[in-house]
Structure formats: C-alpha cells, structure tokens
Structure 1
Amino acid sequence: MKLIILFGPQAVGKMTVGQELERITPLKLFHNHMTIELVSPFFSYGTPPGKRLVRQFRQMIFEEVAQSDLAGIIFTFVWAFDLESDWNYIQEIRQLFESHGAETIFVELEADVEERLARNQSPHRLAHKPTKRDIAFSEGDLLRTMENHRLNSIEGEFEGDNYMRINNTELSPEQVAVMIKKRFQL
C-alpha cells in the first residue's frame, strides 16, 4: 500500500493533480476539501467544531483505508511548515499507514502566486470546492496564509527516494501525474 501526501499552498493544483494520478493508477484520491465541504453546511472549517469534525472524519477514513486491501491513497494537504501541529499531524497519518505496512511518499507542488491566483478562480476548482466560490474571500485567504505561514519546504527539509518536488506553474495536471507515476513506479 502507498500513502501519497500531495502537499503545497492553496490553488497550487493538488486536487487536480490528485484526480489525474487517481485516473492513471490504482490509488484513491482523498483531497482535503472532501471533508471540509462535508462539514461546512453545519460548521465553518475555521471554528473549533468544524476543525474537530473534519479531523475526526479524516481519521476514520485513514484508519479504514490503512487496514484495507486498497492499493493506496493520495491525500492532499496545505502544510504550514512553521506550525509544529502540521508536522505532528502528518507524522500521525504516516505512522498509522506505516504501522500497517504502507510506504509513505511525499510530493510537493509549488507554483508562482500569479498562477495560483488564476487557478483559484478556475471552474473546475469551484465545482469541487463550494467553500471557495466567494472569490474575494478565497483570494484573500490565499494571500493571508502565504504571508503568515511558510507553505513550501526549504532545501534539506525533505530528502531521500520518497520525496519529489515539482514546480507545476507551466505544467498540466496530466504531465505532473505522469511524472509522479514514473518516479515512484505506481
């Protein structure tokens, strides 16, 4: 089993790349907004009940998948590298899967902010993420998050065969998915 953690800042293309990777591999996509959108009609993700429910739903899915006979899962995540809680959360997920014999693969996406702002308004993104449809809010959130947190790794934070960093500013989701599939022989 493979656990692919596909991470990077908002609107970098994690979900879309994940969808393409799911299409060309036996892996299942679990993009972070699947649980956010489930909870949002009741509680905003920014509230304590919203965060708690999102985390609980994700945890239940992770536990079931880790114990299953599935080939693996692609999980998308906006990782604030300056927050110890984000590092701890990823480590918890990794430990859960690895305790069941899974291999963890880290794929980091980065793109120019201008491209991310354009992607933030794409019809595909808005179709899959209703909470992003208030463009002024989501654009402001994207910019604030970028100002307040470090959303891409620095050289040396990740090393080894199970890590790949891709600048996808000029690449299609299909191209990126093929690169990931080839690199990790998925």
Structure 2
Amino acid sequence: MLQGIENMKFVMIFGPSGIGKETIARQLASQKDWRVFPQHLAFDIASAVIGFGNDGFEKYQRDICLNALKTLHSNKVTGVVFTFCYVSKASDYFIQGLLSLLDEMQVVGEFFRINCELEEHIARVTSNGRKNTNKIQTEEYLRHYLQRFDFGESIPNARSYALDTTSMTPEESANAIAAKLRT
C-alpha cells in the first residue's frame, strides 16, 4: 500500500466537455476543503509533449494523472475531485490504471456522470466564461464532438451516479453530489 492517509476521498465527475464538470468540482472542493484536478491539464501537457493522437499519448497522459494522485495521497490531502471526459471503450485504459491505483491506496472512488439537455449544454459552451480558453466554444464544434464520441456510458467496474444538471446551479449540483457521498 502507498503511504499516506487511508481515508482520502476521491470523487470523479465525468461527462462531455463543456457540461460544467470543473465548475461543479470547484464548488464541491470548496465546500469540502479538497483539491480539484481537472484531467484536461494532463491532456494539455501530453498534447504539448507527445502530440494528440501520437503513439504514447494515452500512456503519458495517464501517467501524469496517476502520478499526481499518488502525490496528493502521499501529501495527506483529504480529498480530490477529479474531472474526466469518459468515452466508452477509448478511456478504459486510463480507468483500469485509475481503479488499480485507488485499490492500491485503499481509496474508494465515487463516480458521478453529469449530463444536461442539449440546449443548456450549448448555452454553457458558448458562455462568456469559456472565452479565451482552449476549450470547446461553439455550437457547431459541440454538436460534432457529441456525435463523434459516446459519453452516455457509466464507468465499468465502478458504481456511478447520474446527475442531470440542466436546471441546477453549480452549487446545487455540488450539493446533490455531496449528499450522495459515503461518509
């Protein structure tokens, strides 16, 4: 077992880009005094170093995330809210490594799939808050992205909750997640 605290909380909020995962994660982490680790940071680093789609990209990105979680655990962080774009089958290599690491650290992961109605998703993606980022910002790109990838599946071998955030604020969404967390 890795050294650290055995009761670190690990919460994954997953779903497609632009749906509000990181905003909800920041709200939840603020309420709990936990850390936020958005997976897109590792994606950006791997893209800069390896190049998206090139051989070794997925492994490099996975290693960044898993090493960060090991460090957070060994630094006795009480909780981590991790955001992730789970794509059925394509993300399973990452998930296998994550579940193995959580098991090794004796940390129980809790998984929440976020979704919302398309019109609300479009409004979130095209909001001013996403301007000047390298994230999806147009309705056209979002529609293409949602057609290309399957975000509707839950993570295999992990109990997941689904949360429709269409009419919820980030605070309400974080509260709904917090209410389902194991103590």
Q: Deviations over 1:89-112 (max 9, x none)?
A: 112112202211111101110111
Partner residue of 1:168? 165
Partner SS, residue 131 of structure 1: coil
1:131 paired with 2:134, answer yes
Partner residue of 1:74? 81
May I ask how many residue pairs the two structures share in their alignment?
176
Give the aligned CA root-mean-square deviation in angstroms. Answer: 2.8
Please, what TM-score do these two structures have when normalized by structure 2? 0.80
Q: CA deviation at 1:25?
A: 0.7
Read off the aligned partner of 1:153 and give its amino acid letter: E
Partner SS, residue 62 of structure 1: helix
**Which among 113, 118, 128 is matched to residue 108 of structure 1?**
113
Asked if the contact 1:66/1:96 (under 8 Å) is kept, the reply is no
Partner SS, residue 13 of structure 2: strand
Asked if the contact 1:45/1:54 (under 8 Å) is kept, the reply is no
* Pair 122,49 (structure 1): closer, same or farther in 2 beyond 3 Å: farther
**Which among 68, 75, 83 is matched to residue 61 of structure 1?**
68
Partner residue of 1:21? 28
Q: Show structure 2 runs of 5+ residues with no match.
A: 1-7
Partner SS, residue 181 of structure 1: helix
* Pair 27,77 (structure 1): closer, same or farther in 2 beyond 3 Å: same
Partner SS, residue 108 of structure 1: strand
Q: Show structure 1 runs of 5+ residues with no match.
A: none
Identity fraction in percent: 20
Q: CA deviation at 1:75?
A: 1.2
Read off the aligned partner of 1:132 and give its amino acid letter: K
Where in structure 1 do 4 or more consecutive aligned residues deviate above 6 Å? Answer: 157-160
